[in-house]
Amino acid sequence: MAAVKELQPPTTPSALGLGKVGHLEDGAAAAKIVERTTTLTSSQKIEKVSSKLATSLTVTLAEPVHGEMSALVLPVVEYNRANFIETAKGNKISRECVLSGSQNIILQGKTVIKKRAILRGDLAQIRIGRYCTIGELCVIRPAYKALQRGFAFYPMQIGANVIIGKNSVIQAACIGCNVRIGEGCVVSRRSILKDCCLLLDGSVLAPDTVMPPFSIFGGSPAKIVGELPICTPELISALCFETFSKFRAKSDPA
C-alpha cells in the first residue's frame, strides 16, 4: 500500500487516452505527468478534454490538451450487414462468433460482439449490460471453483459501458460498470473488477484479485499503477455510446 500512496492519482481525464499519447510504462512516468498538471485548478483539469477521446481505444496515459471541451469524435467503423445479426434490443452480434449455451447469455441491449469471440454460456449464465463491446478473439468464460468431486461454475455479471479489447480472456466473477479492459489481457478466475477501473494492454490479473473503483492496473501479474479521475464515469459512458453509434452497417446513413 505504501507504493500506492507515493503515486498520486492523475487529476485529468488523461488516463483514458487523451491528447498527446504516452504509454503508461511505470509509476515514474505517471508521476511526471501528475507533476505537470498540479498547477491547474480542478475546473481547468476537467475542461482540458480532447475531442479525440481514445480514438484508437488504446489504453494510454497522456498529457493535458489545451482548449475547450468538445464532443467526442471517433472514426466510423463499417461492417457488412450480412455478417452480423441485429436484435430487437439493438445488439450487433457477429455471425462468426461462438455463443455456446445461448439461452444462458443475456444481453441488455446496444452490445457489440465481434467476430471469433467465444462466450461460454453452456458453463453458467453470462449477463452483459448496455453499450458493451467485446472485441475480436475474446473468450468470455464463467469462473469456476474446484471441488472434491468436480468443478462448480458461477454466473458472470458484466455491467454497462464495458469495453473488452481483442484477444482477451475473461474469467471474472463480476465486472462493474464503466470499465475498460485492454487488448491481450487475461482476467483470471473469480477476479472482481469494480466500477470505473482500467486494465492496461497485455495485463494478467491473478486469480481472486479485486480491482477497486477508479484504479489502473497493469503488468504481469497486474498491480495497481495509478488512479482515474472523478469524471471517469462520464468519460467512459460517452466513449461507449460513441463507439456503438459509430459502428455502422455499410448501407447506414452517416
Q: How far is CA 91 from CA 87, 120, 138, 246, in A?
A: 5, 18, 17, 14
pTM, to two decimals: 0.71
Give the dihedral of Cα atoms 154, 158, 164, 167; nearest 10 deg: 20
Tell me: the pLDDT tens digits for 210-229? 999 999 999 989 999 999 99
Nearest to 226 by CA among 27, 40, 88, 20: 27
- Cell for 218? 497493469
Using one digit for the tens of pLDDT, what is the confidence trace for 160-210? 999 999 999 999 999 999 999 999 999 999 999 999 999 999 999 999 999
Which domains are seen in the chain, by residue range? 2-62 (no CATH), 77-245 (2.160.10.10)
